[in-house]
Amino acid sequence: MANRHLSRSVVLQTLFEHDFSGTDVATISDALHRNAEEFAPGMGDFVFMEKLLRGVLEKQGDIDTIMTKAAPDWPLEKISVVDRNVLRIGLYELLFADRNEVPAKVAINEAIELAKTYGGESSGKFVNGVLGSVYKELGEPGKDETSKKPKDIPFERMPIEKLAGAVVYAKKNGNVYLALVHDVFGHWTLSKGGVGEGEDVKMGTMRAIKEELGLDIAVGDELGNNEYVASHPEKGKIRKQVSYFLAEAPYQDLKLGSTGGLDDAKWFKLSEVVSLNAYDDILPIITKAVHLLLKK
């Protein structure tokens, strides 16, 4: 068994103990060393184990929130202790670890193997489903990053997925508001969705916004296009091309659809948008939209 996989097994045992019997966080390093001596004598990769254990515990609140959003049919307390802590390790490495050290696919595959080894009959499938959902919904994760590793296939030969979205605005009492969605990783971003084969891009935008926000929009100026490479757990690398438009809607309550990876939708005044945590590739689109709106 590879050292890193064995190290993760020791961390899983320690997290299980902490979760099941309430091990004191202040003394959890003692439990880690005890488990390492019992399950991995002589290995000595304590730096990696300590870093992973502390990272999971420090981010546990965020990780549990993400887990709940990614598996809405499974309340946290109903997930088995093993599966719950395998997911904590997998989500931590997928989202917060150094991706040069732990590539996304490695994080997912390692978690699946832990689940198959220590969990129940369906644990591997369950963990794969949750991590795959998170991986897919966010682009991958880390859609603002460009991989330094060689791509499996040349960029020009990657399959292309068309998407469309909009900067949705509404007017109320002399103010202009933008409708933004919030993802489970803490970013406010633009509503978007896939464009069906043969579907007009503007019609696709209208459908996507209706499904995600419950709004009927009038599509206006095109704001620009974004393209990024996403890694799908089954399809491999994909070029995602997104067309964004300025679109007007009535000011009404937003009804967030069942799209995975999102946990909120809200109207913001133009003056509030600048202080939001947004993805770097979205900011130029929003900025252009704001300039256009100020001229209206």
Q: Cβ contacts of residue 39 below 8 Å, gap of 6+? A: 6, 9, 10, 13
CA 30 to chain centre: 33
56-65, 75-84, 136-145, 194-203: least confident range:
136-145
Q: Where are the domains of the chain?
A: 3-137, 155-295
Average pLDDT over residues 58-79: 89
Strands 262-269 and 175-183: antiparallel
Average pLDDT over residues 132-140: 72
Q: Is 229 helix (H, G, I), strand (E, B) or coil?
A: strand
Angle between helices 60-70 and 81-95 (to 10 degrees): 110
For residues 89 and 114, give the distance between their C-alpha atoms in angstroms, rounded to a whole number.
10
Under 8 Å between Cβ of 168 and 215:
yes
Under 8 Å between Cβ of 134 and 94:
yes
Kindly report the CATH class assigned to 155-295.
alpha beta
Under 8 Å between Cβ of 267 and 176:
no
Q: Is 251 helix (H, G, I), strand (E, B) or coil?
A: coil
The pTM (predicted TM-score) of the whole model is 0.54
Average pLDDT over all residues of the chain: 85
**46's tokens:** 């304590």
Q: What is the pLDDT of residue 231?
A: 59
Residues 81-97: tens digit of each pLDDT: 999 999 999 999 998 88
Q: What is the pLDDT of residue 142?
A: 46
Angle between helices 60-70 and 46-58 (to 10 degrees): 70
Which listed CATH number (1.10.10.350, 3.30.70.2190, 1.10.10.10, 1.10.940.10) goes with 3-137?
1.10.940.10
Q: Closest Cα partner for 220 from 240, 245, 194?
A: 245
Under 8 Å between Cβ of 137 and 260:
yes
Average pLDDT over residues 42-67: 87
Q: What is the pLDDT of residue 157?
A: 85
Per DSSP, the residues of 62-130 read HHHHHHHHH-TTS-GGGS-HHHHHHHHHHHHHHHTS-TTTS-HHHHHHHHHHHHHHHS-TTHHHHHHHH
25-34, 82-91, 148-157: least confident range:
148-157
Side chain identity at residue 204, one-letter code: G
The 8 Å CB, 24+ separation contacts for 16-20 are 16/81, 16/82, 16/85, 18/57, 19/81, 19/84, 19/85, 20/81
